[in-house]
Amino acid sequence: MNTIVEVIDENNIDGKALETIKKAGEIIKNGGIVAFPTETVYGLGGDGLNPESSKKIYAAKGRPSDNPLIIHVADMDAVEKIVRDIPEAAYKLAEEYWPGPLTMIMNKSEVVPYETTGGLDTVAIRMPSNKIAAELIRQSGGYIAAPSANLSGRPSPTQAKYCIEDLDGRVDMIIDGGPVGIGLESTIIDLTSGTPMILRPGYITRENLADLLGNVDVDKTILDASSKVAPKAPGMKYRHYAPKGDLTIVEGEPGDVSKYINAEISKAKDLGKKTGVIATKETEKMYKADSVKIAGSRDDEEEIARNLFTLLREFDDEDVNVMFSESFNDTGIGQAIMNRLLKAAGHKVIRL
Ligand code: AMP
Ligand code: MG
């Protein structure tokens, strides 16, 4: 398949850009699939109400078909059509956080095909704030089913070049809208059973949600690999975000961590391996790896979140085979950072 690549400036959706988005909308209405920017990561979109489109998305990504897709909408009317009985909490959350990086799980109505929900009777819904995404949703009939626009298992794409790397020849079109702002996927909250439960942590934190809703549970599998219970978001059970090399997280006092990592790096170098470290502005100079990446400042978790997937992809580009990362706080946005990092490392953690 020939993949069309088009560049659009989110802050200047002029006549030409609008034409491009309309063309992408037509592709989706006709059952095709298009990668596009959102504020979290790039998505791979098809018509969420068309079972054939959802099948195409799974095939292009190599994604297991029991891993449901998120339907992206541009207004509340659209939500009313695809949900049976919208709970009060959903209106509250929408008022505060939509458009934005929050996905809500509700009971689906009959119009949503099981191909989109991975066979579930519930549906995940998000209203993105990215202007290209919002316009594309309007131009494609109102319901874009979209997972992240990467090959299944790889880090989610934060720039169009990574969509091209993974999906060129596998999708109809890729819209390049520049680097994303947030860099981690949306927070997912399940509103279908009793106390609202966070199934995937993200930019909107547990603390944010509890402020608005009172009691909020967190799926215990989010940070704990030893749990025997399956995660409630089917996608969270799969290996994910993995760089091609071997990543280990090292936890402890900064001095001990750098000493341990440098010793391991020296061993790996003796074996002819290329080595990498995910460090912070504060600790960067302490490491002797071939490639030392600064995730950001420890005081700025948003910066670390924004950089994480990009760093993992860069290690791949540089053919790094052995990587270590410092550990981060697991509160606030740190919960999402640690969730993604633990998955990328296959839960390999050294505690000093
Ligand atoms: P992605 O769009 O690639 O970030 O993946 C979407 C995530 O949402 C996956 O982890 C899915 O398992 C999760 N998800 C989508 N729909 C549902 C649902 N109805 N119930 C629980 N989790 C869902
Ligand atoms: Mg994904």
**Segment (H or E) for 312:** helix 301-317
Ranges of each domain in the chain: 4-218, 246-351
Provide the angle, in degrees to the nearest 10, between the axes of the packed helices 15-29 and 131-139.
50
Task: Indicate whether 294 pLDDT > 70.
Answer: yes
CA 211/CA 281 separation, integer angstroms: 31
Provide the pairing of β-strand 322-326 with 275-279.
parallel
Find the 146 Cα to ligand 1 centroid distance in Å.
Answer: 10
Q: Nearest residue CA, atom 2 of ligand 1?
A: 147
Confidence of residue 237 (pLDDT cuts 50, 70, 90): confident
Residue with tokens 């398949």, as numbered in its chain: 1
Q: Nearest residue CA, atom 11 of ligand 1?
A: 235
Q: How high is the mean pLDDT of the chain?
A: 95
Judge contact between 111 and 55, C-beta under 8 A: no
Task: Indicate whether 318 pLDDT > 80.
Answer: yes
Find the 232 Cα to ligand 1 centroid distance in Å.
Answer: 9
- 232 forms beta bridges with none
Q: For residues 185 and 153, which has the higher predicted lDDT (pLDDT)? A: 185
Amino acid identity for residue 236 in this structure: M
Q: Which residues are CB-contacts of 271 (< 8 A; sequence separation ≥ 6)?
A: none
Q: Which CATH class is domain 4-218?
A: alpha beta
Q: State the closest ligand 1 atom to the C-alpha of 122, by its place in the atom list counted from 1.
A: 19
Find the 309 Cα to ligand 2 centroid distance in Å.
Answer: 12
Confidence of residue 239 (pLDDT cuts 50, 70, 90): low
Find the 149 Cα to ligand 1 centroid distance in Å.
Answer: 14
Q: State the closest ligand 1 atom to the C-alpha of 185, by its place in the atom list counted from 1.
A: 4
Is 192 near ligand 1, meaning CB less than 6 Å away?
no
Q: Which CATH class is domain 246-351?
A: alpha beta
Q: For residues 65 and 170, which has the higher predicted lDDT (pLDDT)? A: 170
Is 68 near ligand 1, meaning CB less than 6 Å away?
yes
Distances (CA, A) of 226 to 97, 201, 237: 32, 18, 12
Judge contact between 333 and 206, C-beta under 8 A: no
Neighbours of 79 (CB within 10 A): 21
Task: Indicate whether 225 pLDDT > 90.
Answer: no
- 286 forms beta bridges with none
